[in-house]
Structure 1
């Protein structure tokens, strides 16, 4: 597989998009997703997937489970970093072999410790499909093409099947209709959603110097201000109207610059990335889980005699 480099040390290589266009959206979806996440939209996908996970907090059953575990309150940064790394393995390595398959196994093992409804799994999977597509349409150097969107959909549907999900919609339109019905049922104001959202905002605030921390919530919520149902479910007020155009302008200026210049690694890779919990050292994939779960998995079975 070819590896691409910046042109003249700063400019994106159009050969990346050309290779994507030459590939089959279904057969080659893992390669397409790698090229999209490593070259075309690495920063955009990270931000979009952060919003996707945040969006799930509006679901009462999902937030109730997250709140009950207490992980976001007690070990929020580690949970954030573990999730980011596991998704990075999938995007970079695919789901069939090696580290990507190991990451998917870790995800499935962690989920097996909890009783999670099938609908909640499907809803979360939808956010991983829809939010990156929406982000590129609004705030990226270019929108994902229909061809790329189809490969992205096929990729995540296959991930869903390997997670044992059943009853998955197979088209974007059917998926969107399914999610609308889910939201009507489960997006209700509740204390668990408010607490998990507040804990996540606190994680983000810790990344910044003190004087800037009060700006985190308005910036995040301004990216959702076209969805009052979501804000109501997590008990958040819509930011003042001046926030959205400022954030929108900043993101559009960044997208305009990105059309011509690449200042980050090219390709972006997990090995060269840094997390706040682990620095540039990545623990074994099987360690990317709450310590309580890992200890439970290592405990000898009852009656083993060990």
Structure 2
């Protein structure tokens, strides 16, 4: 197999993708071409909400993260990947959208709060990819990712979605400049959730979990708000070197033929035998019709 030819072919396909194929383009990006970095971006986006005091207070009051941090973390990722993998209007996709609307019924917050939470899933992964991935995202991929989250926002009755990725970035930066701050609730959520990251690290690295997260976030204002240790020169250099080596290897290997995520698949720490959709989400949440109005993703 000519590795360079397969990588070039995929890159050409992603460069020339039709705007009408936005769901396929984003799926290829998130599950194949830039899968590992997209996942890391989703992971960092999850923590970012804890740095907004009003959102942290809501999440803390719900208590789901403190009581079941592993389940909340895994289920959040599963919902997003089900939507990406199966499509927003597939049977599984509609079930996940209904779940999102149901579990966030009556969640307090402003229109901008709801929009910010959704846009973390767009902006944070894209920025990580632009800075750290083995290749840059294409213009078509940026448009496809933006369209995906615009369509998801529409299905969740979130209005005012930015029309372009550049507008999404602008909103994201303005919102964080106005709202990022330290809070007791945010620190408690961070402390509860960091154990999930620790569980995925080799034993010798687990004591360094908070410093690793801080290094990946690479934002002093944010790490201060989350009560994380500031990243030092050594840790930043280590991350940069490790990612450079990984990227060099990545460019010399063909794209995987198996997607990064398979719906319902076995093998995860939380669902070693696989999962059904009715297992996903908070426990003891009654089934009901999808409400109208704004919903937090």
Match of 1:129 in 2: 122
1:68 deviates by: 1.5
**Aligned pair partner of 1:286 in 260, 270, 278:** 278
Match of 1:185 in 2: 178
Q: Highest Rg: 1 or 2?
A: 1
1:175 deviates by: 2.4
Match of 2:287 in 1: 297
TM-score for both structures, normalised by structure 2: 0.88
Q: Is the 8 A contact 1:30 1:94 kept in 2?
A: yes
Match of 2:23 in 1: 30
Q: How does 1:85-124 map to 2 (within 5 A)?
A: 85-124=78-117
Q: Partners of 2:16 and 2:255 in 1: how far apart?
A: 27
Matched, 1:138 2:120: no
Match of 1:21 in 2: 15
1:14 deviates by: 3.9
TM-score for both structures, normalised by structure 1: 0.86
Aligned length: 287
**Aligned pair partner of 1:245 in 234, 237, 241:** 237
* Structure 2 unaligned blocks of 5 or more: 289-297
Match of 2:206 in 1: 213
1 or 2 for the larger relative contact order (CA 8 Å, sep ≥6)?
2
1:103 alignment partner, SS class: helix
1:203 deviates by: 1.8
2:127 alignment partner, SS class: helix
1:242 alignment partner, SS class: helix
CA deviation digits over 1:236-268, x for unaligned, max 9?
Answer: 231332101101110121111111215866333
Q: Partners of 2:95 and 2:72 in 1: how far apart?
A: 18
Question: Structure 1 pair 144/10, CA: closer, same or farther in 2 (3 Å)?
Answer: closer
CA deviation digits over 1:214-247, x for unaligned, max 9?
Answer: 111111101123x222112122231332101101
Question: Structure 1 pair 268/208, CA: closer, same or farther in 2 (3 Å)?
Answer: closer
Q: Is the 8 A contact 2:220 2:230 kept in 1?
A: yes
Q: Partners of 2:260 and 2:183 in 1: how far apart?
A: 39
RMSD (Å) for aligned C-alpha atoms: 2.3
1:9 deviates by: 9.3
Q: Is the 8 A contact 2:7 2:254 kept in 1?
A: no
Q: Partners of 2:27 and 2:204 in 1: how far apart?
A: 38
CA deviation digits over 1:70-110, x for unaligned, max 9?
Answer: 22222111111111111111111121222122212211111
1:125 deviates by: 1.7
Q: Is the 8 A contact 1:20 1:32 kept in 2?
A: yes
Q: Partners of 1:13 and 1:266 in 2: how far apart?
A: 15
Question: Structure 1 pair 221/273, CA: closer, same or farther in 2 (3 Å)?
Answer: farther
Q: How does 1:161-200 map to 2 (within 5 A)?
A: 161-200=154-193
Q: Partners of 1:209 and 1:145 in 2: how far apart?
A: 34
Q: Partners of 1:11 and 1:81 in 2: how far apart?
A: 35
Question: Structure 1 pair 94/297, CA: closer, same or farther in 2 (3 Å)?
Answer: closer
Question: Structure 1 pair 116/12, CA: closer, same or farther in 2 (3 Å)?
Answer: farther
Q: Is the 8 A contact 1:33 1:155 kept in 2?
A: yes
2:287 alignment partner, SS class: helix
Q: Partners of 1:95 and 1:109 in 2: how far apart?
A: 16
